[in-house]
Amino acid sequence: MSQRLHLVFGGELTDTQSTQFRDVDNIHIVGIFPNYESAYSAWKAEAQRTVDSAHTRYFIAHLHRLRDEETAASATEELDVRG
C-alpha cells in the first residue's frame, strides 16, 4: 500500500479572493502528514489560530498525487515545463 502524504502550508494572500501569496519567502510550512485526517487536524488548528487575519489562508496539498507513478501525467508534466 502506498503512503498518502499531505503537506499543510499557508500564509498571507494578496487578496481574499486569490490564492496568490503576498510573500512566498514567508509561507508557513506546518508539516507533512501521513494521512488526510492528521493533515486536516493540523490545517484546522492553523486556520482557527489565524481566524482574525482575513488574508491568511492554509491549504492541504496531496503530495501522494504528485509522486504517483501509476497515474497519467498532468498537462504540465507532459509539456516538461521547467521554471
pLDDT at 68 over 60: no
Share of the chain above pLDDT 70, in %: 77
Q: How much is the pTM? A: 0.75
Write the CB contacts of 73 (distance below 8 Å, at least 6 apart in sequence).
Answer: none
| Other beta carbons within 10 Å of 10 | 19
Domains of the chain: 6-74 (3.30.70.2400)
Residue bearing the bigger pLDDT, 44 or 63: 44
CA 24 and chain centroid, separation: 13
**Cell numbers for 52:** 482574525
| Other beta carbons within 10 Å of 30 | 17
Predicted confidence band of residue 4 (pLDDT cuts 50, 70, 90): confident
Reference 65, options 23, 18, 2, 19; nearest CA is 2
